[in-house]
Structure 1
């Protein structure tokens, strides 16, 4: 335990480690979630420069549109800035004179401000549908008023009353097969698991630098001169690596759940997957730390191997999007098995009993890596 405690204290003293363990993974989850839409309701900034009753109809229609959060704006410059900075997904400006123009049968152009992303384009379709529906009601009212059924205001009231009685177009959507990503699943949920696997493994491998430094400075060799058995030294070093990996994973899990509402599925299953993958990362760190001779080698190769296996194993692109051949190749890595386990928990509502094959493969990887690392580390200590 004392040897493992040294590993944790060394980790805490290096502030760069705290950044890569605490801040960077959560920031990356946030960026990926926002880039692919997230699970939040899109925010539409609305600036009514007209202030008349016809403009109020558009405002009221947008406020009652499901799936859109309307935010009032006071200035077009501020509205544009909020859209550019991502505080709002889009903005709509109703110009002054809108009511007079459309009330007399003329036209008025509404200005739609949006970011060049998928969510803003989808929101634009919704806004266009609302505006088009309002334009149809106004045309019907003008037609009725022009044919002597009363004033424009009376015709507009009648159009509002009879509008819901007109049979609407019914659209039926059927999805064949099983959706890869359920509609209730947010992109934060998808990205969080992949970032967890990427950073736990990457941090474990780069943590092999400390193990090499301990060997290079002769700390491990001097411990063998004490009554401490070699197996105790190896177990202590392994426990330190496991503690670091588990701490990294818990930070990502708890932080993403509290900050972004990430659903990790069955807690027991998620904890088991984290523990098994932490063992894999720790075993890889022990092997790298026992084989390589310099901290520079461990730092460079650790990043290269961590990113390479992460990309191949589905930690950067969901493994469901791989071809059949690449999916088979991906399952040569532990990342793919862990990703399958989290997919079962999060996307299909499975429990720990449903991920036993994945847990078994991860434990097999961990056992192989630990055995190889222990053999090589023991040889380095005694030679």
Structure 2
């Protein structure tokens, strides 16, 4: 009972502190908006940029017509614009109305030695190379079919007319079947729902700013020592265990209030979808907050005053936020850094949040829950041994 009273008192003190409200509640929402909007182009479901291809053909032949229709397929993210003259195509490129220009010489697909010309505007060289590879692959395939067909018909010339007609018919039917068959030769990877930048940074800011409770909890302990509130409490029939439990529960309680306000604000104001299961979110949050409350006791135990707790807590939060993926997505880190990130509690919380957002099974959450529980229990055990000696 005494522990609960101490916890409620600490939570009320935090909620009355305007600076704490600004730092712990409003700041993460503001940073979520800024970072989520600024990095929208490099995360989440980003569509392939469209390439506008300007084409002029000085003559007409079947192969160039087929290539033009193939390049204009919706799946290639290429829009083909047909120019009426070479001058019009050059004007389009000068005005940057097209990204890449393509010139087909007269009779290009009928064996002429003249080559098609690809002209990219500045900055579109990569797109030009891709288009070149598509054209050359298609041309090589067509040439191979033509040469093979010619060789077969030459060998068949010594046969009777009926046999030649039968071979021609079968050959044409086989080629037509291959060309017209809608067949996929590569299996597509399983489709997964991506996490947008706004979703990612909502989870990242929640994980990072909950860490600040470790700093606030450590400072609270030193504030009570400086104001002699702690010594007066020890003069009452309040045990050391009750006092430490109260400080721990106080940090736990304020962190829950902070998180619930944050998740509500991001959901209703920023339209962030936290996933199909709010129970999974609350499940991981419980263990994460438990580990953060344990770290708050570590800060209190291994610092001597408020200023030191502020410095140690701030530096610790920034280091864990950077390594744990709250500043930059973990997918951008090298493999060695990803392994180091597994030592950070916010990394486990962040990856769990993003997994829940895309839909995940309960079985995948047991490992992060156990790790976070272990961090909390270990922190409580180590810090309580030291704090008992300092209070007594």
**SS of the residue aligned with 1:207?**
helix
Give 1 or 2 for the bigger CA radius of gyration: 2
Which residue matches 2:8? Answer: 5
Q: Does the C-alpha gap of structure 1 residues 111 and 5 become closer, same or farther in structure 2, counting only changes over 3 Å?
A: farther
CA contact (8 A) 2:214 2:299 kept: no
Give SS of 1:260's match: coil
Aligned residue in 2 for 1:257: 267
User: Which residue among 375, 381, 385 is the counterpart of 1:365?
Assistant: 375
The residue that corresponds to 1:245 in the other structure is 255
The 1-side partners of 2:264 and 2:96 are apart by 42
Give the structure 2 partner of residue 377 of structure 1: 387
State which of 279, 288, 295 in structure 2 corresponds to 1:277.
288
Aligned to 1:340: 351
* Aligned 1:201-216 pairs, distance under 5 A: 201-216=211-226
Match of 1:58 in 2: none
Q: How much does 1:340 deviate?
A: 2.3
The structure 1 residue matched to 2:210, chosen from 180, 200, 204, is: 200
What secondary structure sits across from 1:293 in the alignment? coil
Per the alignment, do residues 332 and 40 of structure 1 end up closer, same or farther by CA in structure 2, a change over 3 Å counting?
A: closer
Q: Deviations over 1:64-92 (max 9, x none)?
A: xxxxxxxxxxxxxxxxxxxxxxxxxxxxx
Residues paired across the two proteins, number: 259
Query: Which residue number corresponds to residue 16 of structure 1?
Result: 19
Deviations 1:190-228 (A, max 9, x none): 111111110000233233211111123332232222111
Partners in 1 of 2:218 and 2:333 — Cα distance? 31
Q: CA offsets per residue over residues 211-263 of structure 1, 9 Å max, x none?
A: 11112333223222211121111111111011121122212211111111212
| Whole-Å separation in 1 of the counterparts to 2:244 and 2:314 | 24
| Corresponding position of 1:291 | 302
For residues 190 and 231 of structure 2, the distance between their equivalents in structure 1, rounded to whole angstroms, comes to 57
User: Distance between the aligned counterparts of 2:96 and 2:241, measured in 1?
Assistant: 72
2:25/2:261 contact within 8 Å kept: yes
Check conservation: 1:194, 1:315, Cα contact below 8 A.
yes
1: CA distance, partners of 2:272 / 2:370: 26
TM-score where L is the length of structure 2: 0.60
Name the residue aligned to 2:325: 314
> In structure 2, how many angstroms separate the alpha carbons of the residues matched to 1:175 and 1:371?
52
Query: Structure 2 CA distance, aligned partners of 1:19 and 1:111?
Result: 48
Judging changes above 3 Å, is the alpha-carbon distance between structure 1 residues 212 and 193 closer, same or farther for their aligned structure 2 residues?
A: same
- Partners of 1:258 and 1:351 in 2: how far apart? 25
User: CA–CA distance in 2 between the matches of 1:111 and 1:211?
Assistant: 65
Q: State the Cα deviation string for residues 255-290 of structure 1 (Å, max 9, x = none).
A: 111111212222111101111111111111111112
Counterpart CA distance in 1 for 2:384 and 2:297 is: 7
Report 1:1-383 matches (<5 A).
1-37=4-40, 177=189, 182-183=193-194, 185-265=195-275, 266-347=277-358, 349-382=359-392
Distance 2:290 2:27 in 1: 22
Distance in 1 of aligned mates of 2:9 and 2:262: 23
> Unpaired runs of 5+ in structure 2?
47-90, 98-181
* CA deviations over 1:37-76 (Å, ceiling 9, x no partner): 38999xxxxxxxxxxxxxxxxxxxxxxxxxxxxxxxxxxx
TM-superposed CA distance for 1:310, in Å, is 1.1
Question: 5+ unaligned residues in a row in structure 1: which ranges?
Answer: 42-105, 113-169
Q: TM-score, normalised by structure 1?
A: 0.61
Q: Which protein, 1 or 2, shows the higher relative CO under an 8 Å CA cutoff with sep ≥ 6?
A: 2
